[in-house]
Amino acid sequence: MSAKPARESRAIKASIVLPPDTNHHGTMFGGRVMAYIDDIAAISATRHARMPVVTASTDSVDFLHPICNGQSVCLESHATWSHKTSIEVFVKVIAEDMLTGERAVSATAFLTFVAVDANGVPQLVPDVIPESELEKFLFAGAPARAEMRRKRRSESKELAQRFGVTKEWDRD
């Protein structure tokens, strides 16, 4: 399987923020932003793998700047790293005041996807080739993020075992 440049997975999505997209503060719902992030990241992961993918994790979504009603929101994503069957994707969310042209990075996120076949069995994916300085920077930090992900997943599994499904009358 041949390695692929990160740029081949690049995806861009833009939308205008309308009143149904916003909360009572007139800013975009965080959940809506998160849905956009998952959507654009899945496109990048699929472009990299050229097979179906499933979201395995979202490391974090860091909200840095509000996105207001009437602004445009633009998301950019690309694969940053891969390991066996998984693909890490970076997403940047930019808000733009359409009248002044002022732009701000509103959120960033790292997500991990697993490539699967028609039966849901994980499949090998190509390595990522970073080319730009940003791609190289993100690529270099990926193994440390992957290790943090493994640790967090282990902790999540432990919590699920401790606080898994219980009968209504078994709750503390």
| Model pLDDT for residues 64-106, shown as the tens digit of each residue | 999 999 999 999 999 999 999 999 999 999 999 999 999 999 9
> How many whole angstroms separate alpha carbon 49 and alpha carbon 148?
23
CB 138 within 8 Å of CB 90: yes
Q: Which residues make Cβ contacts (< 8 Å) with residue 33, sequence separation at least 6?
A: 61, 63, 67, 73, 93, 106, 107
Q: DSSP letter for 122, please.
A: B
Q: Is the pLDDT of residue 170 over 70?
A: no
Position 165 confidence tier, pLDDT thresholds 50, 70, 90: low
Q: Is the pLDDT of residue 168 over 80?
A: no
For the chain, which residues make up each domain, given as ranges?
4-163
- pLDDT at residue 11 in the model: 98
Phi, psi of 163 (to 5 degrees): -120, 30
Q: DSSP letter for 9, please.
A: G
Phi, psi of 59 (to 5 degrees): -60, -50
* Residue 132 host element (H or E): none
CB 87 within 8 Å of CB 50: no
Q: Which residues make Cβ contacts (< 8 Å) with residue 105, sequence separation at least 6?
A: 64, 65, 92, 93, 94
Q: Which fold has domain 4-163?
A: Thiol Ester Dehydrase; Chain A (3.10.129)
pTM > 0.85:
yes
Give the dihedral sign, CA 146/156/54/58: negative
